[in-house]
Amino acid sequence: MVIDVEQEKREIINRYRKLLRKAKPILKDGDARQIKKAFTMALEAHKDMRRKSGEPYIFHPLAVAQICVEEIGLGTTSIISALLHDVVEDTDIELSDIERMFGKKVTRIIDGLTKVSGVFEFGTSQQAENFRKMLFTLSEDVRVILIKLADRLHNMRTLESMPRNKQLKVASETIYLYAPLAHRLGLNAIKSELEDLYLRFTDRAVYDSIVRNIDDTRASRNKFIKQFVQPIREELDRHKINYEIKGRPKSIFSIWNKMRKQNIPFEEVYDLFAVRIIIDTPLENEKALCWQVYSIVTDFYTPNPDRLRDWISTPKANGYESLHTTVMAKNGQWVEVQIRTKRMDDIAEKGYAAHWKYKETAAAHESNLEKWLIKVRDTLQQNDHSALDFVNDFRGNLFSEEVFVFTPKGELKTLPYGATALDFAFEIHTQVGSKCIGAKVNNKLVPINYILKNGDQIEILTSQKQKPHEDWLRFVVSSKAKSRIKDVLKEDKKKIAEDGKEILLRKLNQMKIDSSQLIIEQMREYFNAPSHLDLYYRIGKGIITVADIKRFKEYKPKSPLKTRPNIRVADAKTIEQEITKIKGRYEDILLIGEDMDVVDYKLAKCCTPIPGDDVFGFVTVNEGIKIHRTTCPNAAELLANHGNRVVKAKWTSQHEVAFLTGLKVRGTDRVGLINDVSKIISEELKVNMSSMSFFTDSGIFEGEIMLYVHDTRHLEQLINKLEQVEGVVKVSRFDSKSLE
């Protein structure tokens, strides 16, 4: 490829000027000079680097800075940090150089954006470590996370040029951590785009079909919206209200989510769009005017009383304020109407950054976000568990909707949806949580695992004799409660393990066995304990008895050669090499790894892949390579937390091998229906069934069939045939959702 250097230089300058034009309204004296200095430094540092797409690397920092200004509304410090966000990680420039030229604030932000270097032990996750480090800086300066989201958004927009396994890893990490984080910080537009891009790169066929359907229905949708808002417009004009009305389709991802969760085709997703009424009014009139507009809408259309959401009186924890109602249009279709002010809309689209803009006028409004940031700081200070535990706990609290409850004195507390009385106890204080034996909710006695409802008033009952149990982890959802319970259990476990270690050393001494590191390691393997601490703990608890220790004396460890297939590998590359050395099955049909070798694998039970499915290989700790579908319910978590253990995998169909998969059949019941279904399966298409269960209720039947098919083509043929049976309304494939 011939590169036109002059043209590239012109393009770089054009993009830089475009950035300055967008930033102009916010620049103060001297800002443009600082931005130029950062741009020059980044340009020089990245001058010999190119992205996978072949374009100059500097396009990336420029694009990230552009997103910060244009789509998030950030200022000069963030522009400088965005331009320099990769220099410490990818070039010779040190943090000290940046501090000398741009000061402490920029340095701290860039440090938070620079990935954690160093080696990670097996079972931890580099992505999780990076995420935790980024959040440490977030708790000091929220701009770190906003720039990181801009960086991620640009990477997702340019993911096309990446290899397939990298696309899966980055997309899964995005849906697992970054989209929820954007949601939590109120960046609605960015959250929706990240979700849509995730779907585009993990399931292109589904993404394209939804886009096509949205385009095909656009004209009729616009016509419908026009008719729907006509009477509302006239009434708002009559009241001289300053407003704007937008009709916007749901995001591709949310349509897909609905289709998947409710198992319905695109045509049956009724709330494909929402009508948004944005009014311009001073802060003190906001609430009254929003309710006045609600009253106008419901004069023309009947509202669904179960679907009224008032986030103006109690904003969401991410600061989101709006009034939502679902009303019945004249053609019998439900339409969601969102009513909000210009300020609320700004905050809904631009999130946290927009809060600062309104800070003077609306101190109360951002207190929820402030509270959330305080919680993040709290979680980080508490957390001495593994980074993976931390990320999973943090995720759990990122997206859950909230439940609002009251203390006996009437103080409002916000907890994650699904929180229990025990969560509430830990929210008040660790000591209260640790001693909790039950609660009184609205003056009625309830157990500690009672799930809180909005508006509950709770009084916690305690006892000095009570202490946390392992079971408690099942009763709590908030990361604060989980981490405090784990801390107490850890302390207990340590004490028992210390006793266990003493018992073991005494016993080995009596048996005249040297208590060297090697012997302890062999014992750990013999008793199948994940760690030394665990081995000592089991001895201390009496799970491993003195008799068991005596039996160990006769144990002869296997030679390293024999145990090779069970080597605990740290990444996918090593296991590919290991398995290729010892492989014996050349006749199989799944090709794995960079060199597309034939190696041993197992099919994951959580998504039962079959030939023809889009799949990836995942290196497990002790079961070799497991094959998952890219649409597997657990894929996002595996790929997001352990991207370094993912290997490419691709089917080549050359053998008639049968794979177990499941079909759900629904329809109207009639005599002989089951017979017709099983006839098609076993006689016409000669498919073996492993199980079949049907049940009927008021003339509607539902059935689940487990059967063996060769590949996705074979499965489609079977589904088409079954759908032609009289009475059958819908046939769909299903996965078992359990994590192995």
Mapping DSSP onto H, E and C, the string for 406-447 reads ECCCCCEEEEECCCEHHHHHHHHCHHHHHCEEEEEECCEEEC
Residues 6 or more apart whose Cβ sits within 8 Å of residue 374: none
H or E element in which residue 279 lies: strand 273-279
Distance in angstroms (rounded) separating the CA atoms of residues 468 and 470: 7
- What is the distance between the alpha carbons of residues 131 and 115, in angstroms, rounded to a whole number? 9
CA–CA dist 166, 580 (Å, integer): 22
Cα(340)–Cα(326) distance, integer angstroms: 15
Contact 425, 446 (CB under 8 A): no
Q: Kindly give the residue spans of alpha helices, DSSP state H, lying in 451-571.
A: 472-475, 479-510, 517-526, 532-541, 546-552
Answer whether 275's CB lies under 8 Å from 329's CB. no
Q: Active-site residue numbers? A: 89-90
Q: Please compute, for residue 717, the number of CA atoms within 13 A of its CA located in the half-sphere on the CB side.
A: 12
For residue 508, CA distances in Å to 496, 505, 525, 527, 539 come to 18, 5, 16, 15, 13
Distance CA 435, CA 176 (A): 35
* Helix, strand, or coil (residue 467): coil
CA distance 389 to 379: 12
Instruction: Round to whole Å and give the CA distance between 6 and 530.
Output: 59
Q: Are 711 and 612 in contact (CB under 8 A)?
A: yes
